[in-house]
Amino acid sequence: MTKTTNILLAGVGGQGVLLASEVLSKTALREDYDVKKSEVHGMAQRGGSVVSNVRFGKKVYSPLIAEGEADIILAFEQLEALRWVKYLRPGGIIVTSTQRIDPLPVAVGEIDYPDDVLERLEKMEYDVVSIDALELAREAGNQKAINIVLIGCLSNYIKLSVDGLRQVIQESVPEKTVDINLRAFEAGRTHENILTLN
């Protein structure tokens, strides 16, 4: 594959965005891709936005994804998908959790959280895959595994091997949570909302 794959991961502090980007980057490196990664997590500990750019291909020169160039947005929270959608290329894919986490301006009553985020995304010219990653993570055994559920879902749309992703997940999570995380990965990978893309 000579084309660079651009994945923008967006979520809220505490959701495991950085671990997810690490899993993707390590898997791509092991599969002999050139990989660049960039992270912004200024207020992550306080529930602020966390964004990571992961780019892999034959040769990647910059870690940053420009507006309109992301192939996939992997959103851990639905409003984050809407916030970053301008970075998606025409025909790109949005993989989003249906989870809602009120940002600070909503929490303090300055603005309202839109009721129609998913509807807005689905009206755009993109393929949208929305899954209840929080519920799937709970069913797998730990609600903190939403990041791994989302990687499982994402694995249907990227050219990284499923076995490679499983192996890196196994090495990246605490030993006592390996089984939970592998179940979470499979739950996301086989979710009923998976799209068949041309």
DSSP 78-117: HHHHHHHGGGEEEEEEEEEE------HHHHTTSSPPPTTH
Q: What is the pLDDT along the chain (198 residues), one digit of tens a residue?
A: 458 999 999 998 888 999 999 999 999 999 999 999 998 755 545 567 889 999 999 999 999 999 999 999 999 999 999 999 999 999 999 999 999 887 766 777 877 888 899 999 989 989 999 999 999 999 999 999 999 999 999 999 999 999 999 999 999 999 999 999 999 999 999 987 766 554
Residues 6+ apart with CB under 8 A from 29: 35
Pairing of strands 49-57, 34-40: antiparallel
Number of other CB atoms surrounding residue 107 within 10 Å? 12
The torsion angles phi and psi of 109, rounded to 5 degrees, stand at: 85, 10
Rounded to whole angstroms, how far apart are CA atoms 151 and 18?
12
Residue 17 is classified by DSSP as H
Nearest to 117 by CA among 104, 100, 129: 100
Rounded to whole angstroms, how far apart are CA atoms 30 and 94?
25
Q: Report pLDDT for 194.
A: 67
Q: Report pLDDT for 44.
A: 45
CATH 3.30.70.100 fits 5-134, yes or no: no
Residues 6+ apart with CB under 8 A from 175: none
- For the chain, the domains span 5-134
Q: Report pLDDT for 109.
A: 80
Rounded to whole angstroms, how far apart are CA atoms 91 and 160?
20
The torsion angles phi and psi of 96, rounded to 5 degrees, stand at: -135, 145
Its pTM stands at: 0.91
